[in-house]
Structure 1
Amino acid sequence: MESMFNPPLHRQRHQFVVDFVKRNKPQKVVDLGCGECTLLKKLKFHREIELLVGVDTNGAKLQKKKNGLAPVSADYLQPAFNQLRIELYQGSVTQKDSRLRGFDLVTSIELIEHLTVADLECFSEVVFGYMIPLAVIVSTPNSEFNPLFPGLEGFRHTDHKFEWTRAEFRSWASKVCLEFGYEVEFAGVGQAPSDQQEQVGFCSQIGVFHRLRGRNDMFCDGAEDVFSYTLLYIINYPSLQDNNILQRVLVSEVLHCAEKLKSRWIEEEANERDDIASLCQTEKEREGGLLKKPVEIPQTAACGAEMKNPAEQCVRGVLKREDEEALRTNDEGQQESGTLNRCVPVPLAALWSSCSKVRALSGSLTNLRHLLIDKPEVKLSQDGSALLLNDQEHDLDEEDLNGFEDCGYSEARQCPSSAEQEEDWEADV
Structure 2
Amino acid sequence: MEPMFSPALHRQRHEFVIDFVKSYKPKKVVDLGCSECSLLKQLKFHHEIELLAGVDIDSAVLVKKMRGLAPLPTDYLQPRNDQLRIDVYHGSVTQKDARLIGFDLVTSIELIEHLTLADVKLFSEVVFGYMTPVAVIVSTPNADFNPLFRRVSGFRHSDHKFEWSRAEFKSWALKVCLDYGYEVEFTGVGQAPPGYQENVGFCSQIGVFHRLGVRAVRNALSSNDAEDASSYTLLYSKIYPSLRDSNILRRVLVSEVLYWAEKLGRRWVEEEKTGEKDDADTPDQAGGEGKERCRAPESPLQLEEEQTAACGAAMKSLVEHQEVGELFWADGGGLQESCKLGRCVAVPLFVLWGCCPKICALSGSLGNLRQLLMDNGKVNLSQDGSALLLNFHEQEDHDDFEDSGYAEAMRCPHSVEPEEDWDANV
Q: Distance in 2 between matches of 1:386 and 1:269?
A: 19
Quickly say closer, same or farther: Cα 1:364–1:313, change in 2 above 3 A. closer
- The one-letter code of the counterpart of 1:347 is P
Q: Distance in 1 between matches of 2:363 and 2:161?
A: 56
Aligned residue in 2 for 1:321:
329
- Is 2:342–2:394's contact at 8 Å kept on the other side of the alignment? no
How big is the shift at 1:130? 0.3
- 3-state SS, counterpart of residue 202 of structure 2: coil
Equivalent positions of 1:17-416 (< 5 A) are 17-216=17-216, 219-221=218-220, 223=222, 225=226, 226-272=229-275, 320-322=328-330, 323-325=332-334, 340-392=341-393
- The one-letter code of the counterpart of 1:208 is V
Quickly say closer, same or farther: Cα 1:324–1:108, change in 2 above 3 A. farther
- Is 1:324–1:342's contact at 8 Å kept on the other side of the alignment? no
Quickly say closer, same or farther: Cα 1:58–1:172, change in 2 above 3 A. same
- 3-state SS, counterpart of residue 240 of structure 1: coil
- Is 2:54–2:89's contact at 8 Å kept on the other side of the alignment? yes
- The one-letter code of the counterpart of 2:267 is R
How big is the shift at 1:324? 3.9
How big is the shift at 1:81? 0.5
Q: Distance in 1 between matches of 2:35 and 2:391?
A: 55
RCO greater where, 1 or 2, for CA within 8 Å and sep 6 or more?
2
- 3-state SS, counterpart of residue 191 of structure 2: coil
How big is the shift at 1:2? 10
How big is the shift at 1:391? 2.5
- Is 1:254–1:351's contact at 8 Å kept on the other side of the alignment? yes
How big is the shift at 1:260? 0.8
Quickly say closer, same or farther: Cα 1:318–1:170, change in 2 above 3 A. farther
Give the TM-score normalised by structure 2: 0.78
- Is 1:184–1:208's contact at 8 Å kept on the other side of the alignment? yes
Q: Distance in 1 between matches of 2:339 and 2:391?
A: 16
How big is the shift at 1:354? 1.3
- The one-letter code of the counterpart of 2:381 is L
Quickly say closer, same or farther: Cα 1:320–1:147, change in 2 above 3 A. same
- The one-letter code of the counterpart of 1:381 is S
- The one-letter code of the counterpart of 2:169 is F
How big is the shift at 1:314? 7.2
What do the CA deviations read for 1:137-172 (whole angstroms, capped 9, x no partner)?
A: 000000010011122110000110110110110000
- The one-letter code of the counterpart of 1:389 is L
How big is the shift at 1:313? 11
- Is 1:103–1:131's contact at 8 Å kept on the other side of the alignment? yes
Q: Distance in 2 between matches of 1:312 and 1:119?
A: 79
- The one-letter code of the counterpart of 2:44 is K
- 3-state SS, counterpart of residue 343 of structure 2: strand
- The one-letter code of the counterpart of 2:186 is F
How big is the shift at 1:221? 3.5
What do the CA deviations read for 1:261-294 (whole angstroms, capped 9, x no partner)?
A: 11111122122189xxxxxxxxxxxxxxxxxxxx
Q: Which blocks of at least 5 consecutive residues in structure 1 are unaligned?
A: 275-310, 329-336, 396-429
- The one-letter code of the counterpart of 1:367 is N
Q: Distance in 2 between matches of 1:52 and 1:238?
A: 15
How big is the shift at 1:66? 1.1
Quickly say closer, same or farther: Cα 1:163–1:344, change in 2 above 3 A. same
How big is the shift at 1:394? 11
Quickly say closer, same or farther: Cα 1:37–1:84, change in 2 above 3 A. same
- The one-letter code of the counterpart of 2:385 is G
Quickly say closer, same or farther: Cα 1:101–1:46, change in 2 above 3 A. same
How big is the shift at 1:326? 6.6
Quickly say closer, same or farther: Cα 1:180–1:67, change in 2 above 3 A. same
Q: Distance in 1 between matches of 2:195 and 2:3?
A: 20
- Is 1:314–1:321's contact at 8 Å kept on the other side of the alignment? no
Larger radius of gyration: 1
- The one-letter code of the counterpart of 1:69 is L
- The one-letter code of the counterpart of 1:221 is A
Q: Distance in 2 between matches of 1:96 and 1:68?
A: 27
% identical aligned pairs: 66
- Is 1:33–1:56's contact at 8 Å kept on the other side of the alignment? yes
- Is 2:2–2:148's contact at 8 Å kept on the other side of the alignment? no
How big is the shift at 1:320? 1.7
Give the TM-score normalised by structure 1: 0.77
